[in-house]
Amino acid sequence: MRINSRLVVMAVMLIGSLMLAACGSPAAAPAGSKDAAAPASAVTTVGFLFVGPKDDFGYNQAAYLGSTGMEKELGSKVKVIRAENVPETEEAERVMESMIQQGAKVIFPTSYGHLDPALNVAKRHPEVTFIHQGGLKTSSNLGTYFGNIFEEVYLGGVTAGKMTKTNKLGFIASFPIPQVLENINAFELGAKSVNPNATTSVVFTANWCDPGKQAEAANNLIAQGVDVLTQHQDCTKTIVEAAERKGIMSVGYHADASSLAPKGWLTGSVWNWSPLYTQEVQAVLDGKWKEGPLAGKYRVGMKEGAVKLAPFGSSVPADVQALVKQKEQDIMSGKLAPFAGPIKDQSGAVKIAAGVNPTVDQLETTDYLVEGVVGSIPR
C-alpha cells in the first residue's frame, strides 16, 4: 500500500512536469511547408524562441510578427520554425538543440533571459548563428540587437499631452530598471514639450504581468483624475481594456491594441522587428554577418524602422496627428532628440547638461525620474 501510494504521487508529478514541458516546448513545428521544389541546400532554416504566447498584445506578439514579416520578405530562401512559451531556463537550451537537429542555421532567442542558454548552445555549435534580442553579452557566433523604443514613447507622450483635459497622465510601470525609467521619462518629456502643465503619475507593480495589480493600479490612477493611461508591462490587455471601460484614453506599448479600445485609443509604441530580422538573416545568407556590426551589440531606432508608432485612434484630431508626425520626422532627421539636455530630475538637479545629447551608456544607466513625474523610484 505504502509503495503504491508513492508510485501514484510520482506518477502525478511526472504527468505534471510532462504537461509543463509540453507547454514549454511545443514541438518546434515547421511553419508552412515552403515550396518543396526548391533545392534543399538553398533553403536556410531559421528558428525563433518566444518566452510567451504569440498573441499576448505585447512583447512576444511583436517578435512573432517580426518573424512572419521576415519569412514573407525572404520567401523560399528560408524555412522558419518557431517555439512559444519557452522558459528562460535549460529548457531553452533543449529547444535550441532540437531546432539545430531540425537543421536550423540561424536562431533568434527573443527573450532577455534566453541569453545565457543561447551562449551555452552557441559554444557547442560554432556553425550556427545566434541573434539575441536585448542582450549585453556577445560571442563569436552570437550577436545582439535592440530598439530605442523611448523615441516612440516620447511621441506617445506628445499625443497624450495634447489630448489630456485634466493634465494628469498615468504610467503603470513594472520594475524600476533603466529601460523602464527611460520610458517614463521620455513619456513625460514628450507630454511637457507640448503641454507645460502635464504631469505623469507613475505606479510600479513590481511585476511584469499581474493583471490583478494592473487593474488595481488603473483604478487608483483613474480615481486621481488621470485621463490618459500608458504602461510598461509585458501583457498590456488588462490596462487598455480597463481604461476603455472607464471612458478614459490610453497609449499602448509593445503592440497595436487599438482593437481593444475603439473609443479611447490614442496611439502606442510598437516594435517593428521584421526589417531588422530580414537584414540579419540576409546578412547570414550572404556570409557577411560576422564582419558587420550585427555580430556585436547592434542598436536601432525609429530611423531604421525598428520601432514605430501604432495607428492613431479615431479620437485624435488631424492637427495633433500632424504635429506628432512632424516630431517623428524631426527625430528621424536628428533635429530632435528626446533626451537632449537640459534634463532635470525631480529635485531640480541637472542630469544632462544643456546642449548635451546623452550616449547609449548614459541612457542605459538611467536611475532618476525627470521633473514633472509624480511618484518615486522604489528602493
Residues in contact with another protein, shown as a per-residue x/- string from 29 to 58 under the rule CB under 8 A: -----------------------xx-xxx-
Residue 177, interface with another protein (CB under 8 A)? Answer: no
Count of Cβ atoms closer than 10 Å to residue 336 Cβ: 17
Q: Which is nearer to another protein, 19 or 360 (CB)?
A: 19
Q: Which residue from 195, 238, 274, 366 is in contact with another protein, where contact means CB under 8 A?
A: 238
Smallest separation (angstroms) from another protein to the CB of 302: 27
The answer to whether the beta carbons of residues 233 and 275 sit under 8 Å apart is: no
The piece of 30-38, 40-48, 237-245, 320-328 that touches another protein (CB under 8 A) is 237-245
Q: What single letter denotes the amino acid at residue 162? A: K
The number of beta carbons lying within 10 Å of the beta carbon of residue 97 is 16
Q: Pick from 152, 182, 241, 256 the residue near another protein by CB under 8 A.
A: 241
Q: Is residue 173 within 8 Å of residue 136, measured between CB atoms?
A: no
Q: Which residues have a Cβ under 8 Å from the Cβ of 270 and sit 6 or more positions away?
A: 62, 152, 252, 254, 255, 256, 307, 308, 309, 310
- Please say which residue, 135 or 268, places its beta carbon nearer to another protein: 268
Cβ count within 10 A of residue 108? 28
Establish if 27 lies at the interface with another protein (CB under 8 A): no
The residue count of the chain comes to: 379
Closer by beta carbon to another protein, 204 or else 277: 204
Q: Which of 158, 181, 209, 320 binds another protein (CB under 8 A)?
A: 209
Q: How far is the CB of 344 from another protein (least distance, A)?
A: 17
The residue within the footprint of another protein, chosen from 76, 89, 219, 326 (CB under 8 A), is 219
Residue with cell 528602493: 379
Site membership for another protein, residue 224 (CB under 8 A): yes
Beta-bridged to residue 16, according to DSSP, are none
SS (H, E, C) 265-300: EEEEEEECCHHHHHHHHHHHHCCCCCCCHHHCEEEE
Q: How far is CA 25 from CA 49, 92, 266, in A?
A: 9, 8, 36
| Contact status: 5 vs another protein (CB under 8 A) | yes
Interface with another protein (CB under 8 A), residue total 56
User: Judged by CB under 8 A, does residue 85 bind another protein?
Assistant: yes
- Cβ pair 240, 265 in contact under 8 A: yes
Does 182 bind another protein (CB under 8 A)? Our answer is no
Contact residues for another protein, defined by CB under 8 A? 1, 4-6, 8-9, 12-13, 15-20, 22-23, 52-53, 55-57, 84-85, 170, 201-207, 209-217, 219-221, 223-224, 226, 235, 237-238, 241, 260, 374-376, 378-379
